[in-house]
Amino acid sequence: MLRQSISFQLNPDSGVPAYLQLAQQVKQAIRMGILDVGDKLPTVKEVVAEVAINPNTVMKAYWQLEHEGLVEGHQGVGTFVSRRPSGPPPDTQARLARRLERWVQSARSEGLNDESIEAMLRATLSGSRVERTA
Amino acid sequence: MNVRDVLAIHTTGLGKRYGSSWALQDFSASVPRGHVTALVGPNGVGKTTLLKLLVGLCAPSAGEAEVLGRVPQQSEEFLASIGYLAQDVPLYKQLSADDHLEIGARLNRDWDATAARARLAALRIPTNRPVATLSGGQRAQVGLSLVLAKRPQLLLLDEPMAALDPLARREFLASLTAAVADEGLSVVVSSHLLHDLERVCDHLILLAASRTQLCGDIDEVLAEHRTLVGPRRAVNEIEPRLTVVKATQTPRQTRLLVRVDGPVLDPSWEVTEVGLEDIVLAYMEQDEELANGQLVEIGHAQ
């Protein structure tokens, strides 16, 4: 078992730069309550030893999170979670995720395939964005 | 700051000739310190020759090289700061990792056997058995631990993963990147395994036709290349700001891989980003075509 607080995984085919994938995984861990304010992120060495990537990629991910005000780096000590990303608390997220899951199940049972579901979700998201800015 | 302090490698017009044929020609590149550089290119393009020149194992026939601010030479002082792992990890097959570490301690002034033993112990690699009895992945790890025991500032690795299975490759890269994170050393690694290199390296040297074709930060290389797809048109009708690396023509469609120095303005092109592997392959193909005197022209329009 790994001793560090969270583990990472990279998808090289996703088209999302590796440093953004790492930053997103940290954010997701904070949103889900796996990491809390004051918790230490894995060290650069721990991350590269786990996922075999360039150390600068990890530093870039941590700088990005620092820039967003979510973590603070302390020279020689480590990087710590300093704030939760904006958005509802973990239990609200979990509740919404369960409702979405039920919705996806019913959409599939009505004969919608995943491609149509994704298209519908994108259209709904962009539609509501238009309304908000209008 | 002095340029010598920030550059790991600096070469101008570097070349090596064996008899009448050039193994490497007109190689000019600069690699800043603290980077992990991928050295890629087709077989026989001079990657191994370049690494040998950089470590001072052979003398250049043309041009010059500076490595960590010094001219490469087989002197104790120069070699103390360089770790070089030749192709196929040359180890004494009948000797154990412990034996190698002992020999290393006698041959090197600054030798960190403790760290090497700790690394091998963490990987559960037996250090008392002849290295011939170890797996290819374990031998590569022993080789890496030995060059790291020198505490080098620059590590030159020639195809270190060629014989390894995917799991052993990942473990080798994890050991390598952990060492980079720890020591902040510079690394040049030659390999054909672009997929592995892409996640580990942040710098690229692409050798083709015995000349450098690309040398730079991988993020910048990615930002400078795009795929353009649109209705067929002749390559000479394309904006001069775009350098065509690869053109694929059908009677109806033109697909280009281009190097750009800004946004593509022509709206009739569908512009998409392109991955490192496709960029490297496009340059290597271009090279082959130049060598064969051909042009890519699929489905000639009459």
Which residues pair with residue B271 across a beta bridge? B228
Whole-angstrom Cα distance, residue A6 to residue A24?
13
User: Which residues in A lie closer than 8 A to residue B199 (C-beta atoms)?
Assistant: 10, 12, 18, 51-54, 57
Q: Check B181 against A15: CB less than 8 A apart.
A: no
Interface A–B counts its CB contacts (< 8 A) at: 50
Considering the domain architecture, whether residues B166 and B249 belong to the same structural domain is answered as no
For residue B302, is it within any domain?
no
Considering the domain architecture, whether residues B68 and B196 belong to the same structural domain is answered as yes
- Read off the pLDDT of residues B57-91 as tens digits, 9 standing for 90 and up: 999 999 999 999 999 998 888 998 999 999 888 89
Considering the domain architecture, whether residues B168 and B70 belong to the same structural domain is answered as yes
Considering the domain architecture, whether residues B236 and B106 belong to the same structural domain is answered as no
Considering the domain architecture, whether residues B107 and B147 belong to the same structural domain is answered as yes
pLDDT of the residue at B2: 65
Of residues A130 and A23, more confidently modeled: A23
Element (H, E) at B176: helix B166-183
Domain membership of residue B76 as a residue range: 3-208
Q: By percentage, how much of chain A surpasses pLDDT 90?
A: 51
Domains of chain A, first to last? 18-81 (1.10.10.10), 90-133 (no CATH)
- Read off the pLDDT of residues B130-162 as tens digits, 9 standing for 90 and up: 999 999 999 999 999 999 999 999 999 999 998
Of B170, B171, B177, the CB nearest to A54: B177
Considering the domain architecture, whether residues B202 and B226 belong to the same structural domain is answered as no
Which residues pair with residue B211 across a beta bridge? B208
pLDDT of the residue at A11: 84
Considering the domain architecture, whether residues B199 and B139 belong to the same structural domain is answered as yes
A interface with B, Cβ–Cβ < 8 A, is 10, 12, 15, 18, 44-45, 48-58
The ipTM estimated for the assembled molecules is: 0.73
Cα–Cα distances (Å) from B71 to B2, B4, B41, B57, in that order, read 16, 11, 25, 12
Task: Report how many domains make up chain B.
Answer: 2
Which residues pair with residue B262 across a beta bridge? none
Phi (first) and psi of residue B221, to 5 degrees: -60, -45
For residue B258, is it within any domain?
yes
Phi (first) and psi of residue B229, to 5 degrees: -125, 135
> Is residue B50's pLDDT more than 60?
yes
Q: How far is B106 from chain A (nearest CA, A)?
A: 30
User: Which residues in A lie closer than 8 A to residue B181 (C-beta atoms)?
Assistant: 44-45, 48-49, 55, 58
Considering the domain architecture, whether residues B166 and B263 belong to the same structural domain is answered as no
User: Which residues in B lie closer than 8 A to residue A53 (C-beta atoms)?
Assistant: 177, 199-200
How many other C-beta atoms can be found within 10 angstroms of the C-beta atom of residue B248?
16
> Is residue A133's pLDDT more than 80?
no
Element (H, E) at A100: helix A90-109
User: Which residues in A lie closer than 8 A to residue B175 (C-beta atoms)?
Assistant: 49
Of residues B235 and B133, more confidently modeled: B133
Last residue in a domain, options B208, B236, B271: B208
The chain-wide mean pLDDT, for chain B, equals: 88
Last residue in a domain, options B182, B208, B234: B208
pLDDT of the residue at B297: 41
Whole-angstrom Cα distance, residue B81 to residue B104?
14
pLDDT of the residue at A44: 92
Element (H, E) at B66: strand B62-67
For residue B78, is it within any domain?
yes
Lowest mean pLDDT among A2-16, A109-123, B39-53: A2-16
Which residues pair with residue B170 across a beta bridge? none
> Is residue B289's pLDDT more than 70?
no
The chain-wide mean pLDDT, for chain A, equals: 87
